[in-house]
Structure 1
Amino acid sequence: MPLVIVAIGIIALLVLIMKLKLNTFLSLIIVSFGVALALGMKPDNIGTTIEAGLGGTLGHLALIFGLGAMLGKLIADSGGAQRIAMTLVNKFGEKNIQWAVVAASFIIGVALFFEVGLVLLIPIVFAISKQLKVSILYLGIPMAAALSVTHGFLPPHPGPTVIAGEYHANIGEVLLYGFIIALPTVFIAGPLFTKLAKKLVPASFTKTGNIASLGEQKTFKLEETPGFGISVFTALLPVILMSFATIVNLLQKTIGFDDNSLLVAIRFIGNAGTAMVISLLVAIYTMGLARKIPIKEVMNSCTTAITHIGMMLLIIGGGGAFKQVLIDGGVGDYVAELFKGTSMSPILLAWIIAAILRISLGSATVAALTTSGLVIPMLGHSDANLALVVLATGAGSLIASHVNDAGFWMFKEYFGLSMKETFLTWTLLETIISVCGLFFILLLSLFV
């Protein structure tokens, strides 16, 4: 049975990564070859399938992911991220400090990848908690919730961007619906969940944490950083461009007015790749040249950003290769046949498969990619909204982060928690995001 072969492949992947400590990319490629042979694929075709999966996934993602990494790095290196965080903290005041952290983390999370955002914001959270004499976890949970939600639901983050490409969904719609789902999810998983966590593990709110491993942090005097308005505008520009084009597109479909050169131009500017190029060029000016920073220094930031995501790109490519093996090996068709005639929504099915794979594999992006290989053959027989299937896959791929996920260990070490405390804070937080995300996606599916 194909599903037994896939299960054995996933167990082999876990053994290679966790037991034998093999590199994740290498493990994915080895397992892809093994599963392809076990599924009875012709040896002559296996190499081509793996190349097609790797190239097809990276071909769609590399441009957006690479430019997004550069944009985030420029905002971080210029002090723009620090300006956003500190201005919001001052504006919201001590009483509403959690909401200031949520707002800052959400804006910064749109522009920066999860790990980068975490490393950038944790020293700021530590400094605020010391200054206001509040628990670091009281601020840390809302920060992690906002970063995780943007990572799971909003392009240009790798998960939603890759899955949108695989499902041929409109990336602007993914972004627009992602925002609608993200806002209430952050509210529940952030400030609301913090109250529950305080009752579940009160001792963890007395911990002082440890960020020595982050090394020397680049800090700025506030007057040296770019203005708040221009920092927020630069961070959110890709979102503004893609969302505007999507809204215009949806209005055109609803009202039915004729196409013209203005609409063509709006669609071109709102295309994910074009929006990222425009946003990066604006950032080079606003975060660099306008502040008299030499172009060479600005380009150094861009180069550093790309070197840091090299291995992540390969891992995503490896996930794409595994996904293609599942499709070409007939597993996707087998699953489609299995659920033929079922009344289960592809949205719910995508979430369930992604959740199972996330718990097994640890990596949200690899879980999402593998899910796409199983779900794609079903989409032809369904009228489900593709953007919502993308978001459901993303939501499922966030659930129950535990010992096989790097995020679990980062959160544990930075906040100085025990294993039990990390399960009852971080793991539970990720599960709440996943389940709330699914609930709001299903609710939205009634209207779109």
Structure 2
Amino acid sequence: MPLVIVAVGVLLLLLLMIRFKLNGFIALILVALAVGVMQGMPVDKVITSIKNGVGGTLGSLALIMGFGAMLGKLLADCGGAQRIATTLIAKFGKQYIQWALVITGFIVGFALFYEVGFVLMLPLVFSIAASARLPLLYVGVPMAAALSVTHGFLPPHPGPTAIATIFHADMGKTLLFGAILGIPTVILAGPVYARFLKGIDKPVPEGLFNPKTFTEEEMPGFGVSVATSLVPVILMAFRAIAEMILPKGHPILSYAEFFGDPVMATLIAVLIAIFTFGLNRGRKMDEVMATITESIKIIAMMLLIIGGGGAFKQVLVDSGVDKFIAQIMQGSTLSPILLAWTIAAVLRIALGSATVAAITAGGIAAPLIASTGASPELMVIAVGSGSVIFSHVNDPGFWLFKEYFNLTIVETMKSWSVLETIISVCGLVGCLLLSTVV
């Protein structure tokens, strides 16, 4: 019976979001209320559970996402992202232009949310395609693949970070495993798959937007741009490696855990960026703080949606669904990684939103970790992989890609939808393989 109620809750979520176009946050809260009541929880307990779910999920997550948004906005507004891209493109040349865009997408993707990074990179993609006389998708797909992989696999992006919080996964290990699986995935979904799309050759759209192009003097140096962007990654990776190789009680370990904590790592990066991307570029402190204030608007609704997902998860836990799932899974031979991926994939195809699919799947799949002993970090990547599968007409990202690359719906499905599916399947296969040794 509990699983039937969960299924009814998910169907209600789909109905509210798809049929009635209700905001994801409101829909998740309503579904959490409905599931709690149907499970027989006292009404006052349901409200308490929802409050605890929102608070518990957003506790440290709000800090990580807030600092991440600040870092990305500072990088974009000072011309750092443009510097990274133009330098790599100049070094690689026309023959290896795809690899330059993959590396740029990975570096920029660590610091920026997908939509922001996508729009930011487009002027460079368009100018490269025009000047090198290359098909637009041949140049654009590797960039989009790199951004999508960092969005689906790697903290501090909202989906993976929120799922890691729900699963109590180590952020550093999640980042490490995500990077290991992300590199071959980007290669297959980006440069390799783009070679099959040469037949789709559309002109660069005119007058779609008027992006700011920074002059040489306005942009910070390449080394400073890359180093500042990757500060959180370096610190979290250092912590993960230290925890794996150093014995407990080692004096370095406590420092690694302190500076490698995701909140501390992103805060340090923002403080560095205030200087490198702001004050050191001649900007006044008031201007830099205005950029930081503006950055929070990007993630405000995203935070609420993730909080709503946390509320749904907590109701499932407090109503005993987690124990019911644990009992069912005892003695089961079905891989928890495959099950978690499937739940996220079904929700993604039905809902469109990768973040909502990931958070909802995280709440449903969380009990599998305790009952099966699966790696929480690999489960994070499995859910993240499932949440990006086959983007289609109910996903805003589908229309973003379609309009900016001047494609038909069929061409968008052949390129963008298939690209996302390759990323999703590669992530699943990688997790299953890695689970045999982790």
Using the size of structure 1 for normalisation, the TM-score is 0.94
Q: Distance in 2 between matches of 1:330 and 1:357?
A: 22
- How far has the Cα of 1:372 moved from its partner? 2.1
| DSSP-derived class of the 1:220 partner | coil
Deviations 1:70-97 (A, max 9, x none): 0000000000000000111100001111
Q: Is 1:210 aligned to residue 210 of structure 2?
A: no
Aligned to 1:301: 291
Deviations 1:236-278 (A, max 9, x none): 11101110121111101xxx4x524332112111111111111
Q: Distance in 2 between matches of 1:156 and 1:21?
A: 28
Aligned to 1:66: 66
What are the within-5 Å matches in structure 2 for residues 86-97 of structure 1? 86-97=86-97
Q: Is the 8 A contact 1:10 1:361 kept in 2?
A: no
Q: Is 1:224 aligned to residue 218 of structure 2?
A: yes
| DSSP-derived class of the 1:206 partner | coil
| DSSP-derived class of the 2:151 partner | helix
Q: Is 1:292 aligned to residue 282 of structure 2?
A: yes
Amino acid at match of 2:201: T
Q: Distance in 2 between matches of 1:331 and 1:364?
A: 24
Q: Distance in 2 between matches of 1:155 and 1:369?
A: 14
Q: Is 1:327 aligned to residue 321 of structure 2?
A: no
| DSSP-derived class of the 2:392 partner | coil
What are the within-5 Å matches in structure 2 for residues 91-240 of structure 1? 91-198=91-198, 202=199, 205-210=200-205, 212-213=207-208, 215-240=209-234
Q: Distance in 2 between matches of 1:52 and 1:16?
A: 23
Aligned to 1:11: 11
User: 2:265 aligned to 262, 275, 285, which one?
Assistant: 275
Aligned to 2:326: 336
Change (3 A) 1:356 1:410: same
- How far has the Cα of 1:304 moved from its partner? 0.4
Aligned to 1:316: 306
Deviations 1:285-342 (A, max 9, x none): 1111111111111111110000221111111111211222222233333333332211
- How far has the Cα of 1:360 moved from its partner? 1.9
Deviations 1:395-446 (A, max 9, x none): 1111111122111111111111111111111111111001101111222222
Aligned to 2:350: 360
Q: Distance in 2 between matches of 1:296 and 1:209?
A: 37
Q: Is the 8 A contact 1:17 1:24 kept in 2?
A: yes
Aligned to 2:372: 382
Q: Distance in 2 between matches of 1:418 and 1:11?
A: 30
Q: Is 1:395 aligned to residue 389 of structure 2?
A: no
Task: Single out whichever of 405-414 and 146-155 deviates more from structure 2.
Answer: 405-414
Amino acid at match of 1:242: M
| DSSP-derived class of the 2:235 partner | helix
Task: Single out whichever of 377-386 and 230-239 deviates more from structure 2.
Answer: 377-386
Amino acid at match of 1:17: M
Q: Is the 8 A contact 2:186 2:423 kept in 1?
A: yes
RMSD: 1.6
Q: Distance in 1 between matches of 2:11 and 2:411?
A: 27
Task: Single out whichever of 87-96 and 436-445 deviates more from structure 2.
Answer: 436-445
Q: Is 1:412 aligned to residue 406 of structure 2?
A: no
Deviations 1:350-393 (A, max 9, x none): 11221122222222222222222222222223232221111111
Aligned to 1:77: 77
Stretches of 4+ aligned residues off by more than 6 angstroms: none
- The unaligned stretches of length 5 or more in structure 1 are none
- How far has the Cα of 1:27 moved from its partner? 1.8
Deviations 1:146-187 (A, max 9, x none): 000000111110111111111111110001111101100000
Q: Is 1:246 aligned to residue 240 of structure 2?
A: yes
- How far has the Cα of 1:345 moved from its partner? 2.4
Q: Distance in 1 between matches of 2:363 and 2:236?
A: 27
Aligned to 1:430: 420
Q: Distance in 2 between matches of 1:376 and 1:14?
A: 21
Q: Is the 8 A contact 1:336 1:375 kept in 2?
A: no
Q: Distance in 1 between matches of 2:344 and 2:298?
A: 26
Aligned to 1:52: 52
Q: Distance in 2 between matches of 1:99 and 1:85?
A: 11
Q: Is the 8 A contact 1:400 1:430 kept in 2?
A: yes
- How far has the Cα of 1:47 moved from its partner? 0.8
- How far has the Cα of 1:39 moved from its partner? 2.4
Amino acid at match of 1:140: G
Using the size of structure 2 for normalisation, the TM-score is 0.96
Q: Is the 8 A contact 2:382 2:431 kept in 1?
A: yes
Aligned length: 438
Q: Distance in 2 between matches of 1:117 and 1:403?
A: 21
Q: Distance in 2 between matches of 1:128 and 1:229?
A: 22
Aligned to 1:373: 363
